[in-house]
Structure 1
Amino acid sequence: MVSSAEQRRPVVVLYERIVDAIHAGTYPPGSTLPSEPKLAAELGVSRPALREALLLLQEDGLLSVRRGVGRTVADRPPRRGFEHIQPLEELIGAGAPVRVRALLRAVEEPTDFTTQHLLAAARARLRFWESLLVGDGTAAALSQEWAAAEDVLAGAHPGFARALEAVAAGPDAAAARTSMLAVLVSSSRGVPLSAHSSVTATLVGQRRGEQLGRPADTPAVLITQVVRAGDTPVLAAKHMLPTGAAALPVLQSN
């Protein structure tokens, strides 16, 4: 039996081929794509697979549909890379499923980190989630995520605020099995998101080593991520991936 992941793989590959063509200038920003039959012939693929890939490209903001014109490439196609804004558990769980295990769900005052990255006011109250990402029984990453204050979210992304409230008010198990970034992504249809990440090499340290089940001197990669709705930062996170964790795929293009 062919798994659903294997069935979808050709569509994902086709999606990437079209993205590559957009960034290479074959289908430049603002241009109209050829008709479905012509494009399918050019790419040597079936029309059903092409149609599914085109729908995914529309959802990701690379294409738009104009009545009487057809599918048009966005004037400013989103940049490719880790900034696909995909939950970390999905990124590193491509090879094997990764589960989110809640360590802490709390509300706290701003720290130096959240003051800098979320521009949080001194007395703001911020949701804080600390989670362990586990795959094959082994800790793959430790995530710390903060959401902007409720009054900020009310203006910049009320859907995210409502989704966080719904998760917090639901069964404890619901919040324990999801990341804050997953909640943000699922509540952001139609909301323009952008993100920036920085990557540094470090050691896990004593406390994080205990959480990850690794010695304190274990080398690790620390990813700092900030996600914005429009111009407003709505989520800031730190993700620590120790040596031996699942690979984090990073797409690059010029």
Structure 2
Amino acid sequence: MAAGGQRRRPVVALYERIADAIHDGTYPPGSTLPSEPRLAGELGVSRPALREALLLLQEDGLLTVRRGVGRTVNAHPPRRGFEQIQALEELLGTAAPLRVRGLLRTVEEPTDFTTQHLLAPAGAELRFWESVLVGEAGPAALSHEWAAADEVLERAHPAFAEALRATVAPERTSLLGILAAASRGVPLAGHSAVTATLLGRRRGEQLGRPADTPAVLVTQVVRVEETPVLAAKHMLPTGAPALAVLQSN
């Protein structure tokens, strides 16, 4: 896997170069990219690497292939997923600051959720953090976060592994906050899903709300290339600060 990751890094870097050029207007919406041979020459890369990066950009909704025209930049290219990877306390605290209050900081074996989303094998040891986000009006959200096993982080994102070891007051921050701070220059990819639910008794007690309070459950997985490094569940009850949701076109 290490060798495969090494081979993919030039493609990821090339993806970033072209995505940056799209977002900064070098290739504006509606424009047609140069032909593959010309673009490969301009960027100084091989055509196979360029072709793979272009396919990824197409899959992510930045480019469209038009018969007889070529690859064109979409009129409303979505922002890259890793640009939205930000600590929940920051996303929700734009109007009024929120602070993290750690309820539990432990290591646990994989659950069904982490086996599915972190691909954690049986017997693995995963950091699990349970936190309440608190604002001026009281508890605003509940987060459950899991980091991949240390050996996975050492291979896929050593800066995140080191940041976790160096954290002095984990009860005052979130795993996602540590990951975001440790990922300057490291391209991350995130995927989230949103569903409606009810708090339930235990989560209601933690948030000071009735068990039948409507809530939004956000599940999130963050990856470095193809390796998942963090998975989370965020519970936002009715009355929580608004969470902006961007939809890709």
TM-score, normalised to structure 1, is 0.69
Confirm or deny that 1:242 pairs with 2:237: yes
* In 2, Cα distance between equivalents of 1:21 and 1:210: 49
The alpha carbon displacement at 1:224 in A equals 0.4
* In 1, Cα distance between equivalents of 2:23 and 2:218: 25
Confirm or deny that 1:25 pairs with 2:21: no
* In 2, Cα distance between equivalents of 1:236 and 1:151: 16
The alpha carbon displacement at 1:205 in A equals 0.3
Alignment match, 2:18? none
Amino acid at match of 1:235: L
* In 2, Cα distance between equivalents of 1:125 and 1:198: 25
The alpha carbon displacement at 1:24 in A equals 6.7
Please tell me whether the aligned partners of residues 82 and 250 of structure 1 are also in contact (alpha carbons under 8 angstroms).
Answer: no
Alignment match, 2:39? none
* In 1, Cα distance between equivalents of 2:166 and 2:33: 39
How many pairs does the alignment contain?
Answer: 191
Alignment match, 1:215? 210
The alpha carbon displacement at 1:91 in A equals 0.6
**Deviation per residue, 1:97-138 (Å, 9 max, x gap):** 011110011011111110110000100000000000011132
Corresponding residue SS for 1:152: helix
The alpha carbon displacement at 1:233 in A equals 0.2
Corresponding residue SS for 2:105: strand
Sort the Cα spacing of 1:109 and 1:95 in 2 relative to 1 into closer, same or farther, 3 A: same
Amino acid at match of 1:220: A
The alpha carbon displacement at 1:21 in A equals 6.5
Amino acid at match of 2:178: V
The alpha carbon displacement at 1:29 in A equals 7.0
* In 1, Cα distance between equivalents of 2:210 and 2:24: 42
Amino acid at match of 2:241: A
Over the matched positions of the two proteins, sequence identity in percent amounts to: 66
**Deviation per residue, 1:119-174 (Å, 9 max, x gap):** 0010000000000001113211000000000111111111111101111xx2xxx2
Sort the Cα spacing of 1:233 and 1:156 in 2 relative to 1 into closer, same or farther, 3 A: same
Sort the Cα spacing of 1:244 and 1:197 in 2 relative to 1 into closer, same or farther, 3 A: same
Kindly report structure 1 stretches of 4+ aligned residues shifted beyond 2 Å: 18-24, 26-30, 74-83, 251-254
Alignment match, 1:124? 124
Please tell me whether the aligned partners of residues 103 and 132 of structure 1 are also in contact (alpha carbons under 8 angstroms).
Answer: yes
Sort the Cα spacing of 1:211 and 1:133 in 2 relative to 1 into closer, same or farther, 3 A: same
Alignment match, 2:68? none
**Deviation per residue, 1:184-229 (Å, 9 max, x gap):** 0100112110010000000000100000000000000000000001
Sort the Cα spacing of 1:157 and 1:79 in 2 relative to 1 into closer, same or farther, 3 A: farther
The alpha carbon displacement at 1:251 in A equals 2.7
Sort the Cα spacing of 1:157 and 1:80 in 2 relative to 1 into closer, same or farther, 3 A: same
Amino acid at match of 1:158: P
* In 2, Cα distance between equivalents of 1:105 and 1:245: 24
The alpha carbon displacement at 1:249 in A equals 1.1
**Deviation per residue, 1:26-72 (Å, 9 max, x gap):** 67778xxxxxxxxxxxxxxxxxxxxxxxxxxxxxxxxxxx9xxxxxx
* In 2, Cα distance between equivalents of 1:160 and 1:111: 22
* In 1, Cα distance between equivalents of 2:32 and 2:103: 46
* In 1, Cα distance between equivalents of 2:23 and 2:171: 35
Confirm or deny that 1:134 pairs with 2:129: no
Confirm or deny that 1:104 pairs with 2:104: yes
Of 192, 200, 204, the residue aligned with 1:197 is 192
Please tell me whether the aligned partners of residues 103 and 130 of structure 1 are also in contact (alpha carbons under 8 angstroms).
Answer: yes
Sort the Cα spacing of 1:25 and 1:245 in 2 relative to 1 into closer, same or farther, 3 A: same
Amino acid at match of 2:115: T
Query: 1:2-41 residue pairs with structure 2 within 5 A?
Result: 19=23, 25=29
Please tell me whether the aligned partners of residues 204 and 219 of structure 1 are also in contact (alpha carbons under 8 angstroms).
Answer: yes
Amino acid at match of 1:137: A
Sort the Cα spacing of 1:209 and 1:23 in 2 relative to 1 into closer, same or farther, 3 A: farther
